[in-house]
Amino acid sequence: MPEEVKKAKGEQEKPKVEVKGKEKEGQKFKSKDEPVLTRPKVEKKIQIVRVAETDLNGALAVFQGIKKIKGVSFMLANAVSQVCPFSDKKIVDLSEKEITDLEDIIHHPEKYSIPNWLFNRRRDPETNQTSHLIASQLQFITGMDINKLKKMRAYKGIRHGLGLPVRGQRTKSSGRKKSGSVGVKRKKEEPKVAPAGGIKK
């Protein structure tokens, strides 16, 4: 195409730029003498705080942290955070007195006018009292209840003993690892042994 036609259309030739002492086109331009800067790796230190027999991440807020405790649900954690005056603090910033106060709220929520429908042990079969259990206490009482059902030979106890689902779940397609019934098990055929007296003709 002639140069006059190019100028008429408004097309202009792009000036060629020569890069000296740098890398090829399509790559990042770095001078050979320029030092490569690397950001040092910063190790994040996790501060652990012991609350109610549980190791909690100190960087979390009170509401987020206490949900990690066994026996504390989302709703109970929300109720506890509304009752305690230091809920906006991080767990690592709590003093020893505040930690003991927090443990007391979690162990005895009935003292702080938290509704009893949030508790996990309502109307105990032996004492008929409503309480809230957490951590090792909850684990121990749950195990005792299961052993009681096994001794009674109740349906739930038998299912617990066999390692099968207790609450009516299907077992044909799912939950087969725990029960140990994977596939079809057949008895191995033993090789036939000739009688001691030999084969009679």
At 101-126, the pLDDT tens digits run 999 999 999 998 899 899 988 998 88
Is residue 102 in some structural domain?
yes
- Does 133 map to a domain? no
Phi then psi for residue 97, to 5 deg, are: -65, -40
Q: Does the residue 137 lie in any domain?
A: no
pLDDT confidence of residue 77: 92
pLDDT of residue 176: 74
Q: What percent of the chain is predicted at pLDDT more than 70?
A: 73
- What is the model's pTM? 0.60
Can you tell me the distance from the alpha carbon of 191 to that of 19, in angstroms, rounded to the nearest whole number?
84
- Flag whether 166 is in a domain: no
Q: What's the pLDDT score for residue 5?
A: 52
CATH number at residue 104: 1.10.8.50
| pLDDT at residue 20 tops 60 | no
Assigned domain for 70 exists: yes
Domain count of the fold of the chain: 1
Per-residue model confidence (pLDDT) at position 38 = 75
CB 61 within 8 A of CB 92: no
Residue 83 lies in a domain: yes
Asked whether residue 95 is assigned to any structural domain, the reply reads yes
- Residue 152: what pLDDT? 94
Within 13 Å and on the Cβ side, how many CA atoms surround 13? 9
User: What confidence score (pLDDT) does residue 58 get?
Assistant: 87
Identify whether 36 is part of a domain. no
Q: Which pairs with CB-CB distance under 8 Å and at least 24 residues apart come from 72-76?
A: 72/106, 72/134, 73/118, 73/120, 75/118, 76/106, 76/109, 76/114, 76/118, 76/132
User: For residue 79, what are the domain limits?
Assistant: 48-118
